[in-house]
Amino acid sequence: MAKKKVQEKKKFDNPNVIGLHAAVLEQPITETLETNFMPYAMSVIVSRAIPEIDGFKPSHRKLLYTMFKMGLLSGSRTKSANIVGQTMRLNPHGDAAIYETMVRLSMGYQALITPFVDSKGNFGKVYSRDMSYAASRYTEAKLSAICAEVFRDIDKDTVDMVDNYDGSMKEPSLLPTAFPNVLVSANMGIAAGMASQICGFNLNEVCETAIAYIKDQEHDLFSTMPAPDFPTGGEILYDRAEMESIYRTGRGSFRVRSKWRYVPSENIIEIYEIPYTTTSEAVIDKVAELIKANKIREINDMRDETDLGGLRLAIDLKRGVDPEKLMQKLFKMTTLQDAYPCNFNILVGGNPKVMGVGEILDEWIAWRTDCVRRRVYFDLQKKKDKLHLLKGLEAILLDIDKAIEIIRNTELESEVVPNLMMGFKIDQIQAEFVAEIKLRNINREYILKRTAETEELEKAIEELEGTLNNRRKLKNIIISELQQINKKYVIPRKTTIVYASEVEEFDEADTVEDYPVTLFLSREGYFKKITAQSLRMSGEQKYKEGDALKLSFESSNRRELLIVSDKQQIYKVKLADLEDGKASTLGTYLPTKLGMDPGENVVTMIDPGDYRRDVLYVFENGKAARIAMSAYETKTNRKKLVGAYSDKSPLRAVLVLDEEKDIALFANDDRCLVFHSSLLQTKTSRGSQGVAVMNLKKQKLLVEARPLSETRIQNVSRYRVRNVPGAGALLKPEDKGEEQLSLIE
């Protein structure tokens, strides 16, 4: 490692600052990352963004524990501002961040299936982007009933207690949740270099699954927990293979779509549940954008009629519109149907780990077993301590008068306990207990009642010791608690499961009118799409001064078009998205329409058809690359493909090979070469540099390539080569297609 170098800067020119030096410390980048970035990154991962096995982030835990210590589990609500202020003793990140955390955990916001904050007032809604929550001074909150299971036996040393940020008080490192909250509560966090996205599941289904999984590790998770559940409802388009992958690996995505109903009397569609990942405003904005772009013409108006009764988006339909077909279209084009990405990244023992559902249950069961073991050990020690005191009472049972006499005859108070210890052969703790008995309780009846508990305590201690050393008994306790929770908190599933194979998907081609069109492309990049009827009625094609026709062919309005640029990019456009034109207009300027980069120009256009043909790229350096057109077939609606062909040499021609044919190449030294396209092998890599076809002389370039059938070459055998590369031959005048001028008198 290089030594650190310190370079002193010049003294400041300011005369008021005398003797002040500034130093610049130079050090290797690896050391900078290790000493500066890594501690920060680990702090964000461990202490902020990634949830732990109890299902909470530190901010959630600090807020809920503060509310618990404030007595808000059983007490009445208090102002949210009070809670925020108290929480700052544990979470010094500002009141706004704390209040936002409370809002997300609240019942009113509806972000969680099992909210932990019983709220009163305006807490906003998770399905609304613009519905802001009220200030903390106006709202009230307390802990919801389910928090009794979150904090169960927290005072019995079930979890570790650590110092807060200034060491003034203790806080739990985890909360001893009696159910797998890590699967129940949806959670999302972005850390440094990693993220976490956990979808929520139904509480009752999770409890049933955990119980069955504890009993049998081979339990089929899908039989009790078929899919996630969201507080916003909606429908999951269920794909068993897709869901199995998520359950197994902890990664993947699935689709969720809105619920709707048609009201014939008003000719409107009501949307009353939307995906968890979107908002009502985002949906309305997208629909308005599609209407403006003329991509949706079936809607008169769309309104947000959400009220205290819940979400309601109303869509006014035009007369004769099929609501089912329209909703299929909206599902395809808006976030009324959206994908939910899963990344089950959880902190286990301080280390982030992506786990599947079964592995998460394994970790939770192991952690919860440890919590129960600690609670049993705590109860055991308490009972042993009590038994120890009662044994001391038994020692004085036969001679109470002796105990009184010892206390009465002791001159100094500090000697009472030592004298009792010597008089009855008991230890200091027992002697302290005997000495603290009230005068009214120094009777045989009281002592007999207390010592009668000894037998019960001994039985309880024996039972607790047996439980402590028996993993099966510890798991039975967990099962019993899960059964109680499952019975006490009944939460119906809100998200419906619909099998994806039974759902009819929107096919955009069905809604696009199909008719024959003729396409025209000018040399300067102007494009026209003209219908057959308009073409019959039109006159001469109009172009800008100095411009002319470059290419034209017939196609269909439902087809796609590939536009090749001179910057190694291909633009995919649907002909239906381009307006029909007329011969009398200049047409659409493609570089502007497609949003091309400055200085980027159109080379040609291609009708890809079924993407089963090949494209031949001919370059200035004499090379040619034959690329399968399937390399440009994308399943997504990508409109721009970068790196469409090699950038090693300027492009001179693009030819579509419908079939094997002869190709003529022309160089700027009047040489020509003819070869058969079958000599070139098809490549699937778009960036292929191709193979040398025409050997060029020094400082000579290939300038043109055309199918032989489109040239005026007569002496074909003179220029034909059987193998590539070849040199070709000088063009004869008759093969150039030039006619001599003659003067006619």
Helix locations, 625-731, DSSP H: 716-719
Cβ–Cβ < 8 Å for 62, 23: no
At which residue do the structure tokens 């200035």 appear?
620
- Interior/surface letters 613-651, b for 16+ CB within 10 angstroms, e for the rest: bbbbbbbbbbbbbbbbbebbeeeeeeeebeebbbeebeb
CA distances from 578 to 11, 294, 467, 591 (A): 66, 11, 76, 14
Structure tokens at 410: 């002791």
Location of structure tokens 């008003």: 266
**Six-digit token string for 363:** 């970790």
In angstroms, the CA 221 to CA 393 distance is: 55
Q: What beta strand segments (E) does 296-438 contain?
A: 299-304, 313-317, 337-343, 345-348, 351-354
Q: 262 catalytic, yes or no?
A: no
Angstrom CA distances, 291 to 35, 193, 267, 304, stand at 54, 40, 18, 16
| CA pair distance 45, 43, nearest whole angstrom | 5
Paired sense of beta strands 259-263 and 268-273, if any:
antiparallel
Longest dimension (CA), the chain: 160
Q: Which of 40, 138, 165, 499 is catalytic?
A: 138
Dihedral sign (CA 362, 368, 372, 373): positive
Q: What is the DSSP string of 234-275?
A: -EEEE-HHHHHHHHHHSEEEEEEE-EEEEETTTTEEEEEE--
Q: Is 294 helix (H, G, I), strand (E, B) or coil?
A: coil
Which residues are catalytically annotated? Answer: 138
